[in-house]
Amino acid sequence: MKRRVVIIGGGSGGAILANNLPLEDFEVTVVDRSPYHYYWPWLLYVAFRGSRRPMKREIRSLLKPGVNFIQSGAQSVDLNNRKVVLENGKTLDYDYLVVATGSRPTYGLIGGHEKAVEKYGDYHSTIENAERVWKTVNSLKQGTFAIVVGGDPYRCPPSPLEGVFLAEEFFRSRGLRDRVKVVFAVPYPRPYPAEPMNEVVEPLLKERGVEYITFFTLDRIEEDRKVAVSMEGEELKYDALVVVPPHVGTDMKISPEDVLTTDRFIQADKFTNNIKGFDDAFVIGDASAVPVAKTGVTAHLQAGVVARRLQGEDARNNGRTNCPFDLGYGLGTFVISDYNNPVVKLPPSRFSHLAKIAFAAAYWDMVRYPELWNPIFEAYFEATEPAKLSKIYV
């Protein structure tokens, strides 16, 4: 009999995993509350380039024929009894479970955050909020434009600085750079948390006249005074403010509850993606508490590992990150590391920027046809292993 695999979440990790499993051996069911799969990295270009390029497709259209899709949220998961109760009232039994529900922004941790998003938008939540950012930057003719990291974790580690670089380029292209000050505030001791990559981006911030504030742990936003206040007591005055929201994990009820962290990420083995204490359940992508970057590439790689493990291989994650990083002005880099190697100090190049745009253009095909793209990715990841690159870029 075919083994029943239930995948909760039809995003990058869930869809790629479903399409990598041989249907002659598995009965695969994908469950998602939304009918759509979103390419979330493109919110950056909606917010700072005004892009209207479609960034969502129906999940059904991305799954191979034979993969079942149920549009419903998952209300609860009973790991001990292998049951998933859906919001539509249906109960699913499984042989293997994979949670790929992603992460979601939360606005209740910072005073005044919700009002700030309603007015200025953000580029980590919805298309509508990203469009608000585009409206914000277009309406600002003078004053201070601030991007503040509201707390950890959040999707895509390079994204806050990507917004800073693209905003700075936008105001300069409009001839407003002498009238609009761009400010970036973070709770870290440096603009980018990992020092090797910080050595790449910090000189660019200085060169482009971007002011940055470190050790700024956002506590509240006082819109009436147009001030962001840190827990350290520092005040940042602004005319327009975009906050990178902290993210939390799944909203499903999960039993036993001790597999969840306090912010509802699911604890897992960092090598196998098995949910803590269960050899028949996995978590991949942003929903996991494993300390790796919350990106689509991470979900993609973890999906590959789980697919191979379900087929009997002793596949393991090496913690690889490979985050494209837009530096503005047609330049880019990649944040590349793994469990055994720190982030590579990869210098800015036009090639890296073009590679990010090319990846976005090919994304839907990569999800739908993994059998064609897997060999390409394997060759790429082998050629760009952090241990190899670190000998070149010191």
Each residue of 168-209: pLDDT tens digit? Answer: 999 999 999 999 999 999 999 999 999 999 999 999 999 999
Beta strand residue intervals within 59-193, DSSP E:
68-71, 74-78, 83-86, 91-93, 96-99, 104-105, 143-149, 180-185
Say yes or no: do domains 1-41+56-103+249-317 and 107-247 share a fold: yes
Distance in angstroms (rounded) separating the CA atoms of residues 232 and 25:
57
Mean local confidence (pLDDT), 139-166: 96
Secondary structure element (H or E) that encloses residue 8, with its range? strand 3-8
- Annotated domain spans of the chain: 1-41+56-103+249-317, 107-247, 319-394
* Residue 289 CB neighbours (<10 A): 18
Each residue of 356-394: pLDDT tens digit? Answer: 999 999 999 999 999 999 999 999 999 999 999 999 998
The β-bridge relationship of strands 218-222 and 227-230 is antiparallel
For domain 1-41+56-103+249-317, the question of CATH label 3.30.420.40 is answered with no
Tokens standing for 341? 């190697």
Give the pLDDT of residue 291.
86
Each residue of 329-341: pLDDT tens digit? Answer: 999 999 999 999 9
**Cross-strand bridge partners of residue 336:** 322
Each residue of 216-240: pLDDT tens digit? Answer: 999 999 999 999 999 999 999 999 9
CA-angle at 335, arms to 330 and 339, nearest 5°: 170
**Amino acid identity at 28:** V
- The CATH code that applies to domain 107-247 is 3.50.50.60
What 3-state class would DSSP assign to 355?
A: helix
Confidence of residue 145 (pLDDT cuts 50, 70, 90): very high
Give the pLDDT of residue 293.
85
Helix ranges, 245-349 (H)? 296-310
State the angle between helix axes of 12-20 and 296-310 in degrees (0 to 180), rounded to the nearest 10.
30
